[in-house]
Amino acid sequence: MSNVSPGVYSKIIDLSTFIQAVPSTIGFLCGLTEKGRDNELVFVGSRAEFISEFGEPDITDFGKNFGQGPYIAYNYLGESGSLFWIRALPDDAAYSHLKISSRMAPSDTSASVFLEYETSPINDKDELRSDLLLSGTTQPVGILYPIGRGAYYNKIGVRLTVHSNPTLSGIYVLDIYEKQTDGKDVIIESFEVSFDPRARDNSGDSIWITDVLAVYSSVLRFEMVQKVTDGEFVYSDGYDLIVRNYDNDIGTVTVDLTSGSATISDNKQEFVDWETDPETGNAEYVVIAKDAKGNEIWGWLGASGGVDGESINVFSERLLTGGLQAWNGAVSNFDEDSAISYDIKKSNASLSTPFESTTEPLPLRKGSDGELYDVSGTFDPVVGTTLLQQAYSGLLDSPDYGGGYVDDMLDAETVYFSLVYDAGYPTDVKTSIVTLCTTRRDCICILDNGDNSTFEISKDSRDLNQTYNTYFAALYESYNKVSDPFTGADVWFSPVYHMSYIIPRNDNVAELWFAPAGFNRAAINNIKELRFNPSLGQRDQLYLKQLNPIVRFAQGYTVWGQLTTQAKASALQDINIVRLVLYVQRAIEQFCRFFIFEQNDPITWGQVGGAITPFLEVIKSKRGLTEYAVEVGATNYEQKTKKFHVNITLTPTRTVEQILLNFFIQ
């Protein structure tokens, strides 16, 4: 819009745009663990985070072919704080749980609270919500369940106790226990919670049990929402009966403690909404009052009185007909001259009651790993293979609300990773990993060639099993014996075990366009034995098969190759060059998005080209490129079709693979 009246009009035009560097070392890995969130893409930022949720690696859990995933993750996180991880479980895996329920029959004088377990497996969170529906006279309050499914969480127990401060209403202490290997239950987490969604602490933070566990607990969650309708939560029937506070003090409160004339008054309250005619039978609401010291009295509400219903009669029994107008509780200790507060509810039952009958924690139960284990409790490798295939292919079923496939890793626009790791998995799983990388086309996968005892078997495995021919995949040999830092045993690990930390370490000490091979950046210190140590002639054969071996020289063990599986001779046979190209592609793609819908003219072309050149110059100065060229523009046809081209020619710096020593004697 152009202004025509006199004045000074200004604009701020940003000419400082540049190409943002993108993260170069973000990993992705799927695996099997006993605990942790399952069938969900989880970002893990450290070793401590991984172990806290998914547990310490233990090769005995799933064996050599399926148990290496956590080790690869642990090694990787020692060098890079960026890993996407999926713990895979079958659809029929079940949540361990403990349901808090309530009941109030017409003849009851007060509601009862009890604990129960669903007889049918709870396989997803929609089933959790359906289990909160009214069942006969049973009104569920909510369900405690772990962050993931599986039998492991049957080791978890809980205790709920009333807060030690008597002036606090509806506040509990939730202690979470875990059974140790010696059979003892040990507290691993403890929280102050309320079951009221509106409850807040003195700093204004929510202490609703659902919020507290979701934010602070690494183990448990709590559900008390039946469904969400038009964006509004519909809470369980037990919430209305046991938890919901229908009103509380809003003015000056007084009580009449005298048996036969007991009342409560609030000069700003109208008690009409909670009154019950004494001639109709059972009262519907109860009032719970506390003095300044926390002494508590309570009673059922009858008829309201006063000019505007500012007082109401209180009865000791729910059946008002012929009942005594009196208070229950600590009447003799109650200080009616102190500041008095009250809550109006449908019962005075405590949610901690079923936990008070024992000093032991009450267990979660019914958790299951589903068909991952057969009827004898033995791990099923066929199911394990299928699960990992589905995990890398985005075909796992989510246990979250609404279900659907866990296919986030297929979305290259919003989920970015540059390295995808194998973990000694069967060939079918490796194939799914390669398919993921060739589909996304922005990451490279690191695979092993299987556990081959000899050089000849290694060649056959490459020819018959790992037949990949793409620059998005790299294969390594051979398996090697390492002392497992977690179990103390000597274990034969995949070469990917070492590549999981060598590649991010290479990026830390050098740049991603440096080769993750050789003595300077890929020396290995903890190998005890190789399945086979290839000779010079065998290394030539492995090179022709695009297999990267770990070799024992007199100077020690090292990775002695950095080829992709691409058979065609080109620069893209080298891992460091592929990673360089993918890095440049990602950075420039993100930058160019900001020019969509700009004017298709030389000014825009110049802005794009002017930003790409200094970006590539930095890479050249850091020895990633020897030369480059950038040309931006549009033909007449491209302008008509709303396009322009960016032609970038890269000449990557090649690595040294042979040193020719020529000695001239005169």
* Side chain identity, residue 477: E
The answer to whether residues 474 and 428 touch, using CB atoms and an 8 Å cutoff, is: no
335 and 357 assigned to the same domain: no
Which region, left, alpha or beta, applies to residue 248 given φ > 0 means left and ψ of -120 to 50 means alpha? beta
pLDDT of residue 198: 93
Residues 214, 102 share a domain: yes
Between the CA atoms of 242, 247, 253 and 258, what dihedral angle is there, to the nearest 10 degrees?
Answer: -40
33 part of a folded domain: yes
Give the confidence band of 8 by pLDDT, cuts at 50, 70, 90.
confident
Residue 21 reports pLDDT greater than 80: no
Could you say which of 560, 575, 590 is where a domain stops? Answer: 575
Question: Residue 189 CB: number of other CB atoms within 10 A?
Answer: 17
Look at residues 250, 254, 274, 252 and name the one whose alpha carbon lies nearest to residue 264. Answer: 254
Six token digits for residue 310: 């500012």
Distance between CA atoms of 83 and 203, rounded to whole angstroms? 34
Token pair listed for 312: 């109401």
pLDDT at residue 165, rounded to an integer: 87
* pLDDT above 90 for 619: yes
Judgement on whether residues 559 and 427 belong to the same structural domain of the protein: yes
Whats the size of the chain, residue-wise? Answer: 666
Average pLDDT of every residue of the chain: 94
Instruction: Note the pLDDT of residue 642.
Output: 96
Count structural domains, the chain: 4
Same domain, 376 and 436: yes
Distant-in-sequence, close-in-space partners of 426: CB < 8 Å, separation ≥ 6: 65, 381, 385
Sequence-ordered strand ranges (E) for 430-472: 444-448
Neighbours of 287 (CB within 10 A): 24
Q: What is the pLDDT of residues 282-291, one digit of tens each?
A: 999 999 999 9
- The kind and range of the H/E element at 575 are helix 575-592
Let me know if residue 4 belongs to a domain. no
Give a yes or no: residue 15 inside a domain: no
CB within 8 A of 286, min separation 6: which ones? 110, 298, 299, 300, 301, 344, 345, 346, 347, 348
- Model-level pTM? 0.91
Residue 639 belongs to some domain of the structure: yes
Mean pLDDT of 401-425: 94
Helix (H, G, I), strand (E, B), or coil: what is residue 448? strand
User: Tell me: the pLDDT tens digits for 357-375?
Assistant: 888 999 999 999 999 999 8
Other CB atoms within 10 Å distance of the CB of residue 260: 8
Evaluate whether residue 631 is within a structural domain. yes
Q: Could you tell me if 460 and 525 lie in one domain?
A: yes
Same-domain status, 234 and 123 = yes
Per-residue pLDDT, 390: 98
Tens of pLDDT, residue by residue over 228-282, are 777 788 999 999 999 999 999 999 999 999 999 999 999 999 999 999 988 888 9
pLDDT value for 2: 67
Q: What is the pLDDT of residue 11?
A: 79
Same domain for 525 and 443: yes
Kindly state the average pLDDT of the residues 347-353: 93
Mean pLDDT over 297-326 rounds to: 93
Task: Give the DSSP per-residue string, 216-252.
Answer: H-SSEEEE-EEEEETTEEEE-HHIIIII---EE--S-
pLDDT of the residue at 82: 95
Tell me, yes or no, whether 199 and 335 share the same domain.
no
- For residue 248, the model assigns a pLDDT of 94
Question: Token pair for residue 438?
Answer: 């060739």
Phi–psi pair at 373, nearest 5 degrees: -120, 140
The answer to whether residues 395 and 537 belong to one domain is yes
Q: Is the pLDDT of residue 138 over 90?
A: yes
Q: Are residues 503 and 379 in the same domain?
A: yes
Q: Is residue 2 part of a domain?
A: no
Identify whether the C-beta of residue 246 lies closer than 8 Å to the C-beta of residue 198.
no
User: In this structure, what token pair is assigned to residue 500?
Assistant: 């999981």
Pairing relationship of beta strands 138-146 and 156-162 according to DSSP bridges: unpaired
The answer to whether the beta carbons of residues 581 and 572 sit under 8 Å apart is: yes
Are 201 and 226 a contacting pair, CB within 8 Å?
no
Number of neighbours of residue 222 by Cβ within 10 angstroms: 23
For residue 1, pLDDT over 70 is answered with: no
Question: Structural domain of residue 307, as residue ranges?
Answer: 251-342
**104 or 10: which leads in pLDDT:** 104
Do 439 and 466 meet the contact criterion of CB atoms below 8 Å apart?
A: no
Mean pLDDT score, 634-650 = 95
504 in a structural domain: yes
Task: For residue 18, tell me if it sits in a domain.
Answer: no
At 353, the pLDDT band (50, 70, 90 cuts) reads very high
Q: Which of 540, 575, 610 is the last residue of a domain?
A: 575
Same domain, 554 and 447: yes
Per-residue pLDDT reduced to its tens digit, 580-592: 999 999 999 999 9
From 363, 396, 430, the end of a domain falls on 363
Tell me which of 473 and 3 has the higher pLDDT. 473
* One domain, residues 518 and 652: no
Q: Is 313 helix (H, G, I), strand (E, B) or coil?
A: strand
State mean pLDDT over 293-302: 94
The predicted model gives 42-69 an average pLDDT of: 96
Segment 189-234, tens digit of pLDDT:
999 999 999 999 989 999 999 999 999 999 999 999 988 777 788 9
572 DSSP assignment = G
